[in-house]
Amino acid sequence: MIWTAGFRTAVISPYEQVKLSEPRGFADQTVRQVLHLAGGGERLRVHLTNRYGRTPLTIGAATVATEHGQANLTFDGSEKLTIPPGAEAVGDPTDLPIDPGADLILSLYLPEETGLATYSHKPAENAHIATGNHVTSPALPQAEQVEARFYVSGVDVLAPDDTAIAVAFGDSWFEGVGSTIGANNRSVDVLNRRLKRGWVVNQGIAGNRLLRDEVGEHALARFDRDVLSIPGLTHVLVHIGMNDLGLPGMSGEPPASSADLIEGFKTLAHRAHQADLTILAATIGPFAGAIYPGISTPEGLAARREVNDWIRTTDTFDAVFDVARAVENPEAPDYIHPDLDSGDGMHLNDKGAQAMANAVDLETLAL
């Protein structure tokens, strides 16, 4: 048996300049979060993080619950924990089975002022927040709901030695922006429902770039932590580059060049192959007509076409899944097909997420 990732969520700093959601902190509050696990096991352990915090993070109490019951979390035998700024903590193994595709309910009581929280900002799932310590309560009284995850970076499960794991690494098209909140219809969820063996954990960050920080540390910078650190990993799927082309326009900067993006992709593939991983690259999805100012520019769209032509023909990757073709409007290929558009011209709805997942040839993802 091995400990490996049953769930992952990539986190960002609340102190970034580019903000797609409002950061927040806590004091004398319970934060309850639904974690949809890609894989299951007989035991589990939870990863908590204060990676971008500027003050110590005190966990006064914590519980996890599945359909098989509820358990208190402990850390080196204690139900209380303080995580220094910049640090992370892994809970003690908990004898609570969880099935693949099931939800784990994580409740954290935060008794002291936390400062702004390390968080996942667009996870297509709501956190529930209530005053006081309610980690063992079946329901939270007068709970506030907010789309985010706070202070959690993953859940490990105890699984058979031959368990095969892949990671979806990239941007909002993996994290799930545009899909129905709380419905588990992200492209990665749909892909997991297609698999006969193994599973894919989700390390997408909405707004993430290949070459530059914000939103989140750029892909080349976070690759070791968010990909190579996962035990039993065999494959990495990549969808990134859209924000290198679109986000600069929001601040009046030129988009990344196609040449720079291609070099970044080559570096990513080289590092994956050095780690004996199979790497599958997606073509960059269409974003013409995006409603956000400065995103959709002639220069950025032209670079997207150049990079996609290279992705489709290069031998840099082990396989390609042509997301762009799967979701584009055939009459205007720079645009998402109207039936698949979430409404903002840049993200996929549930049906679009399904089309993205279906673009992956499972023979190239033989876990």
Distance CA 304, CA 298 (A): 10
Residue 361 has pLDDT above 90, yes or no: yes
Residue 366 has pLDDT above 90, yes or no: no
CA dihedral 244, 204, 129, 114 (to 10 degrees): -70
Kindly indicate the confidence band of residue 104, based on its pLDDT and cuts at 50, 70 and 90: very high
Residue 287 has pLDDT above 90, yes or no: yes
Mean pLDDT computed over every residue of the chain: 97
pLDDT of residue 343: 98
> In the chain, what percentage of residues exceed pLDDT 70?
100
Q: Is 88 helix (H, G, I), strand (E, B) or coil?
A: strand
Tell me the sheet residues that pair with 28. none
Q: In this structure, are residues 32 and 127 in contact, taking their beta carbons and an 8 Å threshold?
A: yes
- Average pLDDT on 275-296 reads 97
Residues listed for the chain = 367
Kindly indicate the confidence band of residue 26, based on its pLDDT and cuts at 50, 70 and 90: very high
pLDDT of residue 197: 94
- Average pLDDT on 255-270 reads 98
Reduced DSSP (H G I as helix, E B as strand, rest coil) percent helix, strand, coil of the chain, to 5: 25, 30, 45
Kindly indicate the confidence band of residue 367, based on its pLDDT and cuts at 50, 70 and 90: confident
Residue 91 has pLDDT above 90, yes or no: yes
pLDDT of residue 253: 86
Q: What is the DSSP letter of 350?
A: H
- Average pLDDT on 123-150 reads 96
pLDDT of residue 348: 98
Residue 344 has pLDDT above 90, yes or no: yes
Conformation bin of residue 193: beta by default, left when phi > 0, alpha when psi is -120 to 50: alpha
- Average pLDDT on 231-256 reads 94
Residue 252 has pLDDT above 90, yes or no: no
More confident residue, 101 or 253: 101
Distance CA 48, CA 7 (A): 12
- Average pLDDT on 140-162 reads 96
- Average pLDDT on 292-318 reads 97
- Average pLDDT on 229-236 reads 96
Angle, CA 202 vertex, CA 117 and CA 99 arms, to 5°? 100
Distance CA 87, CA 140 (A): 29
pLDDT of residue 260: 98
Report which of 208, 172, 178, 180 is spatially closest to residue 344, judged by C-alpha positions: 178
pLDDT of residue 156: 98
Q: How many angstroms from the chain centroid is the CA of residue 73? A: 24
Report which of 231, 244, 222 is spatially closest to residue 18, judged by C-alpha positions: 244
Residue 239 has pLDDT above 90, yes or no: yes
Tell me the sheet residues that pair with 295. none
pLDDT of residue 40: 97
Kindly indicate the confidence band of residue 298, based on its pLDDT and cuts at 50, 70 and 90: very high
The per-residue pLDDT for range 27-67, each reduced to its tens digit, is 999 999 999 999 999 999 999 999 999 999 999 999 999 99
> DSSP string spanning 304-339?
HHHHHHHHHH-SSSSEEE-HHHHHEETTEEEEE-GG
